[in-house]
Amino acid sequence: MAKKQPNMNKGAVGLFFVFSLLFFVILYRFSVIGITGEAAGQPLAAKAEQKHTRYGTIEAARGAIKDRSGEVIAEDTASYTLIAILDEKMTTDPENPKHIVNPEMTAAKLAKYIDMKESEIIRILEKKKEKPELFQVEFGKAGRDIPFQTKKEIEAEKLPGITFKRDSKRFYPNGIFASHLVGFVERKERENGTYASFGKLGIEKLMDKRLKGESGKIEYESDLWGYLLPSGKELVTPAKNGNDIYLTLDRKIQTFLEDALNKTVEEYNPKKIIAIVADPKTGEILAMGQRPTFDPKTREGIEKAWHNEAIEYPFEPGSTMKIFTLAAAVNEGVFKPNEPYKSGSYQVTKRDKPIKDHNGSGWGTITYLEGVQRSSNVAFAKMAKEKLGFDTFREYLTRFGLDKPTGIDLPSEATSQLRYEWPIEKITTSFGQGTAVTAIQQVQAATAIANDGKMMKPHVIKKITDYDTGETIEEIKPEVVSEPITPEAAKKVRDILETVITSPKGTGHNRYNIEGYSVAGKTGTAELSQGHGYLSGAGNYIFSFLGMAPADNPELIVYVAVQQPEIDSYFKGSLPVSMIFNSVMKNSLQYLNIKPSTQAPVMSGKLPDLKGEPAVNAKRDLEAKGYDVIVIGDGSEVAEQVPTAGATALEGEKVILKTNGKAVMPDMAGWSIRDVMKAATLTDLKLNFKGSGYVVKQSITKGAPIKGGDQLTVQLETPREQNHAKEKEKKDPEIKE
């Protein structure tokens, strides 16, 4: 044992030196880290902060789109997505389960609120049998965009495992309403599970950046599990909400247009319609519509018409182009209204086939004024070649902006396709064949005729305002593009174009007369090309009219083009066009309080403030002025009204009065959706509607008590659908709905 002692001492000394060395190495390492704050070249403080710092996104609110007076056209509203928790681990207290415990019972109750069969809901709720790792499920389209009221009703059922994810959706309260001009919003899911909105078509696309704003962020210090530390630092970069966009559209005039388009489609079923209403003094577009169209909320119909036809579709305009040939000749002083010429046919060169008047044989020797009235191709061919000369005529095409885009504030504007190389092309351009232009180019050019020679740039944005304060950030001012003709020439052209309507020889006579108002305008009939020729048949044309009123001082320009309506005679082509033009022009002029020149104005004006007035007296006084008055409630005094006090209402328009008593449901049979919206707004009902046209069914029966938050669903049908149903019932009286 004594011999082993020295060896043990040596071992102990060796271990002592090894551990001492390790201690000093560690001590040195800690000292270096403490002094430099780095390890392996990485700053430890930053690493620690990075590990315990959490980031969150603060979503910016998307701005609203409004009409010129502030009526909402598109806005974001709260919506909810239905979620079912399947994972049993979420339940810690069996008495208070947090996951789906009874799929059959849950499905039976959910089926009352979402558009999904009970069996399909059960299938979704039992998916965990197939995928044990599944934590939660959603219900597809049926479970998205759930309104707040429905969410409250589902929550009242107290279904274990059913919860909601809050979101927002784009709401278009007017339904189909200048859909291609306004556009729509598409929502796409990000990698982190949140959603981002992207504008598609129209203003939603063009102004997407201004509308969506900039998202903010939040940085905060947290513990290992992500919870905010009580003493942790918190840095918030607030979101910058998107701007509100005010359009030049007038909700009332757009409504007139949409209704007229619907009626024309119902009666004539055309392949396409384009219509524009503009203020010639400012270039503001007051209404723009087309058919086919789509519902911006559901996207129904979008597959039939992706393009805004008014600005993206160049086509042969036909005789509406003659307006600008005439204006050039008047401005140059070469149009002599009483000068005679030989109508019928005109040969430009020996090599070209003669061009002919639309009736084939002409009207013999007539004056140039009668040639304009009869829309003689020969008259305009002679004006372009013999009176103006081709070079001068080409200059006027530029002056009127017919060879370049207008620059309207909408995406994807197309430009014209001028064919102006050969003599025959120059001739046919003078009367609107061979050359293609857009509807908006024609409207811009027409502002020079209506606005005493000053051509106004068309625009649809009126101003941009701050989302939070309402302060105006940017205001779009009217812009004079050019002055292609003198004020005197513009006045003469309007006088001549007025005779197209007033003269028995005019192509617009007995078609575009509006009682009490003078109209100046020009009809158009354009052939539709097919390969190397044109289509034949009574309706295979684009029938159009470009008109302004009142003729002596135009306040409105209305352009309408109807392609291939179902008619049995070429001469009936003006019927669907005039159905739109006359209705929209007359209603709009009356709405704008533009007095007729030959008759007393119809009853219309600003509504008084009826709040507190006896309901019986208010109803009597309004009906005496020609309004259709609906009273909701059994009270004695008026509590609210729609339209509101100061709003302009037309004769025959529904005015809805809510009294201070209990509200009951009116009979809405035959109401338009816009009248239903008035009542829903006044009574705070949650409105859903199916179909289009006029009300045939309502979920709340007439006379039933109603209160704010109740769900109202109305079924709409067009007159054609209603007639079809009646005929079917006559054939088979046993079939009942």
Cα distance between residue 140 and residue 117, in whole Å: 13
Contact (CB, 8 A) for 254 and 591: no
State whether the Cα torsion 435-437-439-445 is positive or negative. negative
Q: Is 660 left (phi over 0), alpha (psi -120 to 50) or beta?
A: alpha
Q: Which helix (H) or strand (E) holds 206?
A: helix 202-206
Q: Which residue has the tokens 């805004």?
A: 308
Query: Which residues lie across from 436 on neighbouring strands?
Result: 417
Other C-beta atoms closer than 10 Å to the C-beta of 525 total 20
Tokens of 16: 């002592």
Q: Can you say how many angstroms the Cα of residue 561 is from the centroid of all Cα atoms in its chain?
A: 20
Tokens of 139: 């219900």
Using alpha carbons, select from 167, 147, 144 the residue that is nearest to residue 713: 147
Query: Which residues lie across from 164 on neighbouring strands?
Result: 82
Catalytic positions are 319
Q: Can you say how many angstroms the Cα of residue 616 is from the centroid of all Cα atoms in its chain?
A: 39
Q: Which helix (H) or strand (E) holds 664?
A: none
Query: Which residues lie across from 475 on neighbouring strands?
Result: 463
Query: How many angstroms separate the Cα of 701 from the Cα of each of 275, 630, 664, 697?
Result: 38, 16, 9, 9
For residue 250, with 0-12 CB atoms within 10 Å meaning exposed, 13-18 middle and 19 or more buried, which class applies? buried
Give the count of alpha carbons within 13 A of 211, CB side only: 27
Cis omega (within 30 of 0) for bond into 292: yes
Query: How many angstroms separate the Cα of 517 from the Cα of each of 432, 514, 546, 576, 597?
Result: 28, 6, 16, 20, 6
Cα distance between residue 546 and residue 415, in whole Å: 19
Contact (CB, 8 A) for 569 and 538: yes
Contact (CB, 8 A) for 48 and 42: no
Query: How many angstroms separate the Cα of 264 from the Cα of each of 8, 454, 572?
Result: 113, 33, 13
Cα distance between residue 339 and residue 347, in whole Å: 20
User: What residues contact residue 231 under an 8 Å CB cut-off, 6+ apart?
Assistant: none
Contact (CB, 8 A) for 362 and 350: no
Using alpha carbons, select from 630, 619, 677 the residue that is nearest to residue 654: 630
Contact (CB, 8 A) for 539 and 316: no
Helix 439-450 and helix 487-502: axis angle, to 10°? 110
Using alpha carbons, select from 304, 406, 300, 296 the residue that is nearest to residue 65: 296
Using alpha carbons, select from 307, 306, 325 the residue that is nearest to residue 377: 325
For residue 50, with 0-12 CB atoms within 10 Å meaning exposed, 13-18 middle and 19 or more buried, which class applies? exposed
CA angle 151, 152, 153 (to 5 degrees): 90
Strand order across the 628-632 sheet: 628-632, 654-659, 638-642
